[in-house]
Copies of this chain bind each other. A is one copy, B any other.
Amino acid sequence: MKTINQLIEKIEQAIHADNAQWVRQSPVNLYGPVAYGMSAGGKRIRPLLVLLGSQLFSDEVDKAIPVALAIEVFHNFTLLHDDIMDKADKRRGRLTVHRQYSENAAILSGDAMAFLAYQRLLQGPSESLNALASLFTQTALEVCEGQQFDMDFEHRIDVTTSEYLEMIRLKTAVLLACALKSGALVGGSDEDSANQVYQIGINLGIAFQLQDDLLDTFGNESEFGKSIGGDITANKKTYLLINALEMASPDQRKEIDAWLSKKEFDRQEKIEAVKEIFNSLNIKEKTKNLIQAYMQESIGLLAGLPVPSERKSDLEALCLKLAERIV
């Protein structure tokens, strides 16, 4: 068995090898932006989950590397296209692909990445190819659906918390679940265990996204890595805001609506005002409790998984670490 650091090292090496090829590959205007997108770094959570999923059942993690790459390339494909749709200028401290190159480059290189992801997936073990490709394709479609719901929600003020949870399940959680389950399948898991692993990923993913919502408003700027209050400033329909809208008194509701419709405002003033309403409604506690519930569900599912406990400890540690980012 490999440690988490050894697994991350393997992932970085594999990504580096791909990138070394892409920076040289013709047409350079297609593969250059691919390499640029892939070299932005990030936590590499998804490929790590593939390898940890595999290691639940097998020591041959190398067999899962192509699948780990497939999922990381797919994830970065979604970033290229989401950044166009969201008109985002920066990601991880650098210009986004459509700003660094052009919108057309980000569209077409993104498209190429979708197929490069499949190319890697097809290098996985042939005996699980059918299951892997079906799971991956289903997941990719669900991620598109999640992104669409997210964009639809921008124009609605009546989004319910259950609609929101379904949206983040699709947009974020299914890919983490797919990563874990794909690894499990490559590791030789039976179907029941693979499905249990998938549910671990779903719960982990929802907890992860809720935690992200919480950090965006209540986090510590230096630890969160981006400026606090972005969601409030942009009227983003997060779990926090949706909950506040559901629970607000008529007066509070009026105040939130006023902030949502204001075209010009002092950024800091808006953040503080909305946070104050959140605080009076106990939104932070409520969100923390929900995160805790999803985390406990995933930890419980992991505990019940019929594999030796030493195979689970790294995944358990990672789950706890992801959910315990400081608020």
Contacts and interface: CB of A to CB of B under 8 A. Distances in A.
A137 B122 contact: yes
- Give the dominant DSSP class at A's interface: helix
Contacts of A111: 81, 110-111, 114, 144
Copies held by the complex: 2
A129 interface: yes
Interface string A101-129: 00010011011101110110010001001
Contact of A30 (B30, B116, B144): B144
A103 to B, nearest CB: 8
Contacts of A151: 29, 104, 108
B112 A144 contact: yes
A137 B118 contact: yes
A112 B147 CA distance: 11
Contacts of A126: 130
A224 interface: no
Given A108-B81, A108-B85, A119 B137 contact: yes
Interface in A76-120: 81, 84-85, 104, 107-108, 110-112, 114-116, 118-119
A21 interface: no
A30 B142 CA distance: 11
A145 interface: yes
A111 to B, nearest CB: 5
A323 interface: no
Contacts of A115: 114, 137, 140-141, 144
Contacts of A137: 115, 118-119, 122
A152 interface: yes
A134 interface: yes
A71 to B, nearest CB: 14
A107 B107 contact: yes
Interface in A239-289: none
Return the 10 tightest CB-CB contacts between A and B, nearest first.
A30-B148, A112-B144, A115-B140, A27-B148, A85-B104, A118-B137, A115-B141, A119-B137, A114-B114, A115-B137
